[in-house]
Chains A and B, each alone.
Chain A
Amino acid sequence: MFFLSLIEHKLRLPPEDLSLPLPKGIKKVLDGIFLDKVIANLGLCVSIYDIRNISGGFIQAGEGAPTYTVEFRMVVFRPFTGEIIVAKIIESDNDGLRLSLGFFDDIYVPAHQLPQPCHQIPDPDRRYKVRWIWEYDIEDTGNPEQYNIDGLDEVKLQVLNVSFPPLPIEQQEKPFAPMLVTVSQPSTDQYLNVVWGQFHGGD
């Protein structure tokens, strides 16, 4: 889910941070620039791991703050294809589900990736939202049980794809998501049955 990335960046250290020990001041500026931001084709920056090298410190003509060239390692979030992650459901509509990890909200399960067979019913509580119901026959009795795919459970998913859509030129209705993770339920049939059983307190 997470990996390290070695990055080099030129930054300006504002005068109010000059009284701090240098690594602390630099880390403060780096946090402000990178934390909680998505770098295209790399991932979501989570945390600064360590600072490898600081050089520079010259004040350029016409400026009031020193410029440093910093080489550091950063923890980046980007699940690889095929990885299993655990997430919570936050939205469900016609096109599928949307899940969240707390710090990352743009995980989508397209409708065709939901465990089959399943169908949707309009959600009585919210307009324009639907609730998905999965019919699964555990004991092969010919009488499938209905499992609600609702917001109470945690779901284990397998990552299919991570994409970084380009910045839109015009304003869109939905808030722009710089990084999208598309997932599916893992392919084994029995899998979901067991997971459901665990989170519903046993069958």
Chain B
Amino acid sequence: MKIKEGNAGLIINFELLHLLNSRGAAKDTTRVMASVGRSEYKVYDYLVGTVACNQTKEHINEFLEKSQKFKLTKAEILSIINTRPSQLVELDPIMCRQIVEQQEQRPELDMEELLELILQVLPPPPSETEPEPEPESEPVDEDNNKTADAEKNVPDE
């Protein structure tokens, strides 16, 4: 065995999930007929539990386009798409790695703006059905139940 290229490109979780789905991982409930191995099913189970299960190619492309002005590194984009931070404190560790140099090079990086872009473009994980609290929005109606029905009756604010 010869490793020709150790690193031939990074993959986001969504792409791997898409690959497994294209082989039929989602449709075959018996897990015997699709050409997906048992260990691949374990990876599939893990990915379905992350934010990647709600994402589509359009979401990703839109995010890549709109985040260009922030000049994020590949690693940061990857982490953001894979984990979809919904609050500033979640965004911090992703951006924190290059603290001193980056702050000098790109002082216009606005974390709040980036967070808003993330919340706007990337879909939330399926467990979060409550509307996200955003910095300048009005207070959320506290009687909102965590059910799908409540989402249909969005209160006028």
A residues whose Cβ falls under 8 Å from a Cβ of B:
1-10, 27, 31, 35-36, 39, 42, 46-47, 49, 71, 73, 75, 77, 80, 82-84, 86, 101-103, 156, 158, 186-188, 190-191, 193-195
Given A2-B13, A8-B1, A35-B37; A84-B46 close (CB under 8 Å): no
Interface 1/0s, chain B 4-18, versus A by CB < 8 A? 111111111100100
B96 interface residue per 8 A CB criterion: yes
**Contacting residues of chain B (16-30) with chain A, CB-CB under 8 angstroms:** 16, 19-20
Distance, CA A46 to CA B8, complexed state (A): 15
The answer on a CB contact under 8 Å between A188 and B96 is: yes
Given A101-B46, A156-B90, A188-B96; A84-B1 close (CB under 8 Å): no
B82 interface residue per 8 A CB criterion: yes
The answer on a CB contact under 8 Å between B5 and A103 is: no
Distance, CA A156 to CA B50, complexed state (A): 12
User: How many contacts A-B (CB < 8 Å)?
Assistant: 107
Chain A hits for B13, CB < 8 A: 1-2
Chain B hits for A80, CB < 8 A: 75
The answer on a CB contact under 8 Å between A5 and B7 is: yes
Chain B hits for A77, CB < 8 A: 43
Chain A hits for B4, CB < 8 A: 6-8, 71
Instruction: Apart from A46-B43, A84-B94, list 13 A-B contacts with CB within 8 A.
Output: A3-B10, A6-B5, A7-B1, A9-B1, A42-B3, A47-B19, A80-B75, A82-B97, A101-B46, A102-B43, A103-B39, A186-B93, A187-B93
The answer on a CB contact under 8 Å between B9 and A3 is: yes
Size of the B side of the interface (Cβ < 8 Å), in residues, is 38
B57 interface residue per 8 A CB criterion: no
Q: Can you name 22 A-B pairs with beta carbons within 8 Å?
A: A1-B82, A2-B13, A2-B16, A3-B8, A3-B10, A5-B8, A8-B1, A36-B37, A42-B6, A46-B16, A71-B4, A83-B75, A156-B90, A186-B92, A186-B93, A188-B89, A190-B89, A191-B89, A191-B92, A193-B89, A194-B87, A194-B90
The answer on a CB contact under 8 Å between A47 and B2 is: no
B residues whose Cβ falls under 8 Å from a Cβ of A:
1-13, 16, 19-20, 35, 37, 39-40, 42-43, 45-46, 50, 75, 78-79, 82-83, 87, 89-90, 92-94, 96-97
The answer on a CB contact under 8 Å between B89 and A5 is: no
Q: Which 9 A-B pairs have the closest CB atoms?
A: A186-B93, A36-B39, A103-B42, A6-B5, A102-B46, A4-B8, A6-B4, A2-B11, A8-B2
The answer on a CB contact under 8 Å between A5 and B37 is: no
Given A86-B83, A187-B96; A49-B39 close (CB under 8 Å): no
Distance, CA A7 to CA B45, complexed state (A): 26
The answer on a CB contact under 8 Å between B3 and A7 is: yes
Minimum C-beta distance from B40 to chain A (A): 5
Minimum C-beta distance from B72 to chain A (A): 14
Distance, CA A73 to CA B87, complexed state (A): 36
